[in-house]
């Protein structure tokens, strides 16, 4: 009843434009983190949340950060996204500071909680960034409708967040993050609060979206299997003070499907990273 009122041109989504199947995109350095760290002044003195962080992330890369709870994984995303300032070292996004990149709207954030405005419908939540950017045109709304269709929410556009399941709200959050075509997706345990089945569905969706344009994704999770399944590279963090202990390349074939989860190479990588985290 709700779904039929929007016809869709299949490949007209803007971030599809540079979609050229089979072409290997040249990669260049996009996020350059050098010796970065952040300390918080807490009640019991200074707390070093992250220190001596070095990482390079290239364009079109899907990189995950795994680590034990409280190791500062989320803090790294906030540092890169310009929501927090490093107290040591430096971070460059394509030659800009994180804050400059944030102001240039290069980041699409997806948080563990969907962070919906309860008084807005799904489509109006997706339109929030466009409104902030004074770009809430009819064309944008059209694109937002198609985005919602792409994340599997055709027919749910005018429902309110309370009428949607947790997984559906997270789909809206992904559509919202893509709606203004940011250069980089910063995802902070986006599927952490979902059940296993919903999580698998969203893995497939995320990879499908990512295959379309290979936008750079930085994905924080404590789920090692999830990180291996999705990523080109996995950065393993130590407990607090968090630093990157090891970097693992995931050379599993793409596109990845549910069959990938039973590949020996996949299982071996998961085991190896888990072992690294436990010790």
Q: Is 198 in the site for other proteins (CB under 8 A)?
A: no
The sign of the torsion formed by the CA atoms of 146, 150, 153, 155 equals positive
Q: Give the residue with the Cβ less far from other proteins, 104 or 274.
A: 104
Q: Is 97 in the site for other proteins (CB under 8 A)?
A: no
How far is Cα 84 from Cα 157, in angstroms, rounded to an integer? 33
**Residue 128 CB, nearest distance to other proteins (Å)?**
7
Q: Give the residue with the Cβ less far from other proteins, 170 or 273.
A: 170
Contact in structure between 73 and 220 (CB atoms under 8 Å)? yes
| CA 203 to each of CA 56, 135, 195, 197, 220: distance values in angstroms, whole numbers, following the listed order | 24, 30, 12, 10, 13
DSSP character string of 13-28: -GGGTT--TTPPPPP-
Q: Give the residue with the Cβ less far from other proteins, 104 or 252.
A: 104
Q: Is 107 in the site for other proteins (CB under 8 A)?
A: yes
Q: Site for other proteins (CB under 8 A): how many residues?
A: 24
Out of 81, 190, 241, 242, which residue is the one contacting other proteins (CB under 8 A)? 81
Q: Is 196 in the site for other proteins (CB under 8 A)?
A: no
Output the six-digit token pair for 136. 């809430």
Q: Is 118 in the site for other proteins (CB under 8 A)?
A: yes
Out of 2, 8, 29, 132, which residue is the one contacting other proteins (CB under 8 A)? 132
Output the six-digit token pair for 68. 């034990």
Q: Is 141 in the site for other proteins (CB under 8 A)?
A: no
How far is Cα 214 from Cα 16, in angstroms, rounded to an integer? 10
Out of 62, 156, 180, 229, which residue is the one contacting other proteins (CB under 8 A)? 180
């Amino acid at each position: 009843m709700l779904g039929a009122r929007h016809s869709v041109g299949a490949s007209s989504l803007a971030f599809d434009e540079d979609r050229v199947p089979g072409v290997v995109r040249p990669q260049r350095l996009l996020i350059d983190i050098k010796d970065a760290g952040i300390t918080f002044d807490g009640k019991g003195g200074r707390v070093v949340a992250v220190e001596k962080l070095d990482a390079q992330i290239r364009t079109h890369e899907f990189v995950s950060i795994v680590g034990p709870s409280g190791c500062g994984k989320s803090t790294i995303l906030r540092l890169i996204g310009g929501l927090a300032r490093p107290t040591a070292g430096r971070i460059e996004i394509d030659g800009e500071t994180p804050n400059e990149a944030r102001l240039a709207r290069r980041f699409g954030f997806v948080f563990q909680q969907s962070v919906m405005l309860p008084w807005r419908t799904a489509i109006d939540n997706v339109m929030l960034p466009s409104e902030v950017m004074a770009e809430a045109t009819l064309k944008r709304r059209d694109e937002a409708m198609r985005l919602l269709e792409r994340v599997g929410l055709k027919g749910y556009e005018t429902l309110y967040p309370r009428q949607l399941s947790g997984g559906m709200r997270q789909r809206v959050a992904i559509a919202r993050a893509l709606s203004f075509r940011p250069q980089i997706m910063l995802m902070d345990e986006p599927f952490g609060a979902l059940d296993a089945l919903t999580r698998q569905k969203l893995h497939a969706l995320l990879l499908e979206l990512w295959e379309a344009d290979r936008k750079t994704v930085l994905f924080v999770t404590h789920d090692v299997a999830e990180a291996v399944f999705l990523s080109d590279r996995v950065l393993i963090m130590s407990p607090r003070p968090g630093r990157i202990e090891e970097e693992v390349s995931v050379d599993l074939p793409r596109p990845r499907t549910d069959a990938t989860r039973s590949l020996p190479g996949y299982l071996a990588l998961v085991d190896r990273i888990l072992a690294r985290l436990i010790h």
